[in-house]
Structure 1
Amino acid sequence: MRSPVLGAAALFAVVVLSLATASHGALQYGFYKGKCGTKDVETIIQGVVRQRFFSDTKIVAALLRMQFHDCFVRGCDASILLDGPSTEKTALPNFSVFGYDLIDRAKAAVEAACPGVVSCADIIIAATRDAVALAGGLKYQVQLGRRDGMISQASLVNLPAPTITVPQSIQTFRAKGLSTSDMVLLLGGHTVGITRCSVIKDRLYNFRGTGKPDPTLNPNFLQLLRSFACPKIGGDNNMVFLDDPSSSLKVDNSFYKQLLQNKGVLQIDQALALDPATKPIVQQLAANPTQFLTQFNQAMVKLGAVQVLTGTQGQIRKNCRRTN
């Protein structure tokens, strides 16, 4: 049976040829062309991202996480940006999200160029694309034309946990219109990801209450994590790279190579290389760096089209942190 990843690769030429006219719903490539006078909205956003990237490369992981966390809750509507005592920002899974100040700066820059035109939701999508390209990924075109949501509730945040099983994860992504291949590719964003020791400590010392480590962990890698990142007592806030430290700031396929060596930091990541539904995809992405970069971009475009608001829906916020 031909793998879905190989199938997507075979269709890549068709995707490229149709890119200029393809769209998801009312989203369009080049949506802001001519809407900001002679100024290019995407270039303005890119300038803000570039300035931040060269002083803080962690912004790549931050924006990837921000886009994922926003799009998985009520769609890609920038609801994660809204401030308030019970907004999405206050939900536990979003405590790890940062980079809001970059979105603020990008919003201020586009407002100065053309007030009331560019949505905060589009800024998240474009800024993430630019960060990925700066970190070694291929620059991809993004469909724009989203409008901003006006509802943000912590109670609505139900993001997949790192302990989720592969079948559960497949079902969760499918509910958003994303395939199994999309899921494996999007989790590949962990190539620049980080987590806290507290998230993985049970895998290292007391997996599922056994008093022993997760047996799927590479023994040498287990010892490395215990010695340098996560001691048994304390260190809960220590940061742990989700990819090999030598490649942890670069968007590449090293993440999948780590998984095949049983060096997945998160439980769901390692499970991708063990489950028969996803292992062949992991193997192919580990063996083909260009294939990962190309198809990761396509998956990011699909993610960015989840449950978007367009046309007269929602609003164009003047300030990304509050509704008009």
Structure 2
Amino acid sequence: MDRGRRRQWGVVCSALLLSALLAVASAQSPSPARAPKPAPSLPAALRAAPRPSSPAVPAPKAPAASPAPKQTPSPSASPVPKPPTPRAPAQAPKPSSPAAPSASPVPKPPAPRAPAQAPKPPSPPSASPPPAAPPLPKPSPPPPAPSAPKPSPVAPAPAQKPSPPTTTPPPQKPSAPPSPTNSSPPTPSLALSPNFYAASCPSVELAVNDVVRSASTLDPSIPGKLLRMVFHDCFVEGCDASVLIQGSGTERTDPANLSLGGFNVIDEAKRLLEAVCPATVSCSDIIVLAARDAVTFTGGPSVPVSLGRRDSLVSLASNVRANIIDTGFSVDAMAASFASKGLSLDDLVTLSGGHTIGSAHCGTFRERFRPDANGSMVPVDGTMNAEYATELMRACAASGSAAVGCDDGSAAAFDNRYFSNLLDGRGLLRTDAVLVQNATTRARVAAFAQSQDSFFSSWAGSFARLTSLGVKTGSAGEVRRLCSSVNG
């Protein structure tokens, strides 16, 4: 009886221990290849098994391993008689490296507590060597690789520290591109600037000034002609030297431009600059500089001008009449023409002051007179000074092509005498005389007549706006080699 009861207890205990070992083995390694290795651990378990005197002890172990009821083979008792297997536990922890529970033997109750304490840093002696190897491959795939070698015992902590630096650089990189786009707005080389030729042709202003001074000394009418030229050029398709091009159907052939002069001065300045700075300075810039120097030569203010214009490729006579100011215009008509160019009524009065130098042919102001019953010429406008009217008729009696100074008594000096003459009824052209017949423009005329400084100060701004009309820069237009023709 004792021998049979011992055999039954042996079978029961071996079955229970085998089922527990199989459950632990399945939890330790999912791979089927490693499952048979826990079998040698049976003797160690058998030593602990005889302690319970009743089957109540294995009962709590059974729910911990759910697969126990499935595996109840009785042949598992065969490995019981093998005594030499107690050395197997030393080999068991090696294959169980992927999980912390493998370090503790199966039957011992503290084994389930080992995995809970394994991830914690305070238990490095037993669990630190095995887990140190598995966490290392985990941080290697993500970008923060440099931080992995520093902490070996605790892998998850360094993996979180390098992550913020990887996220912070991206916001700094996109912030960089806006700055260059913002720093380099529209190409600065295309903008007009007083220093446009500072590097390419630093002597441009000196060269033009010398040519203008020389020509004006020989011919006192040159300053007035150069100043008139810049008006006729800039008002028709912008300041692009289109008025200089010769040929059939060009702006130069329109009747309004037949009386223009000073072309030889522009050509001479261009020849000089081509010798010093070939294919660099545009003809349109030379016109602006020559007009500025003409004012300075006759006593007017020397104003800074911006440069960098390019010359037009087209010049059409059909563009002249639609843009030029006719001598028969009223204040409203002139104001509308100026407004279409972006110029104000104040610009109109100020730039009309350019008539303080220069002269006009008798045919230009003939419409201001009519014959009377006796065949004599009388002024159409009753506001014209009678003495001045007589002087004009006397000057034009001999020849209709005679020239009369636009500013009576001061046609060779750039000053405010022009405005004083307007208030006195001595305006030569009708466009001059009507400025005192409008309340707004008359007030400005009176202010300039009282203060030459006020006129000079206003001239600087209005001249800058005039010479900025419709300029061509960059790839628009060209720099002509000869101002009278486009490049072939």
CA distance in 2, matches of 1:235, 1:114: 45
The aligned runs of 1:293-312 (5 Å cut-off) are: 293-312=456-475
Matched letter for residue 454 of structure 2: Q
255, 278, 283: which one aligns with 1:92: 255
Question: Contact between 1:201 and 1:230, CA under 8 Å: does it hold in 2?
Answer: no
Are 1:253 and 1:292, in contact at CA under 8 Å, matched by a contact in 2? yes
Number of the residue aligned with 2:393: 226
The aligned counterpart of 1:139 is 302
| Aligned residue in 1 for 2:366 | 201
Aligned-residue offset at 1:73: 0.5
Determine the structure 2 residue equivalent to 1:18. Answer: none
Do the aligned residues in 2 keep the contact of 1:206 with 1:213 (CA within 8 Å)?
A: no
Q: Does 1:243 align with 2:243?
A: no
Instruction: Give the SS at the match of 1:143.
Output: coil
State whether structure 2 residue 380 is matched by structure 1 residue 176: no
CA apart distance, 1:275: 0.8
| 1:1-324 equivalence runs, <5 A | 26-36=191-201, 39-158=202-321, 159-206=324-371, 213-227=380-394, 229-231=395-397, 235-245=399-409, 247-324=410-487
Give the AA of the match of 1:121: S
Q: Specify the code of the residue in structure 2 equivalent to 1:147.
A: R
The one-character-per-residue Cα deviations of 1:106-135 (angstroms, maximum 9, x if unpaired) are 001111111111000000001111111010
Q: Is this contact kept in 2: 1:60–1:131, CA < 8 A?
A: yes
Q: Is the 8 A contact 1:119 1:146 kept in 2?
A: yes
Cα pair 1:87 1:153 within 8 Å, conserved:
yes
Displacement of 1:211 after TM fit? 7.5
Q: Structure 2: how far apart are the matches of 1:206 and 1:213?
A: 9
2: CA distance between counterparts of 1:211 and 1:120? Answer: 44
Identity %: 38
Q: SS in structure 2 opposite 1:31?
A: coil
Are the aligned partners of 1:253 and 1:285 in contact in 2 as well (CA < 8 Å)? yes
Secondary structure of the residue that 1:205 maps to in structure 2? strand
Distance 1:206 1:293, change over 3 A: farther
Offset of 1:199 from its aligned partner? 2.0
For residues 209-240 of structure 1, what are the alpha-carbon distances to aligned partners after superposition, in whole Å with 9 as ceiling and x for unaligned?
Answer: x986321211111122122x123xx6211111
How far apart are residue 204 of structure 1 and its match? 2.4
Partner of 2:51: none
Measure, in 2, the Cα distance between the counterparts of 1:161 and 1:239: 18
Deviation at 1:55, TM superposition (A): 1.0
> The residue matched to 1:278 in structure 2 has which SS?
helix
Tell me the SS of whatever aligns to 2:338. helix
Which structure would you say has the larger Rg?
2
Contact kept in structure 2, 1:120 and 1:148, CA below 8 Å: yes
Residue 104 of structure 2 corresponds to which residue in structure 1?
none
Aligned residue identity for 2:306: Q
Question: CA-to-partner distance for each residue in 1:37-66, whole Å, 9 max, x for gaps?
Answer: xx4111111111111111112111111111
**Whole-angstrom distance in 2 between the partners of 1:266 and 1:156:** 23
8 A Cα contact 2:369 2:378, kept in partner: no
Secondary structure at 1:314's aligned position in 2?
coil
What do residues 258-305 of structure 1 show as CA deviations (whole Å, max 9, x unaligned)? 000011111110110111120000000010011112211221111000
Deviation at 1:84, TM superposition (A): 0.4
**Uncovered stretches (5+) of structure 1, i.e. residues with no partner:** 1-22
Question: Does the residue aligned with 1:240 lie in a helix, a strand or coil?
Answer: strand
Q: CA deviation at 1:206?
A: 5.0
TM-score (structure 1 length as normaliser): 0.87
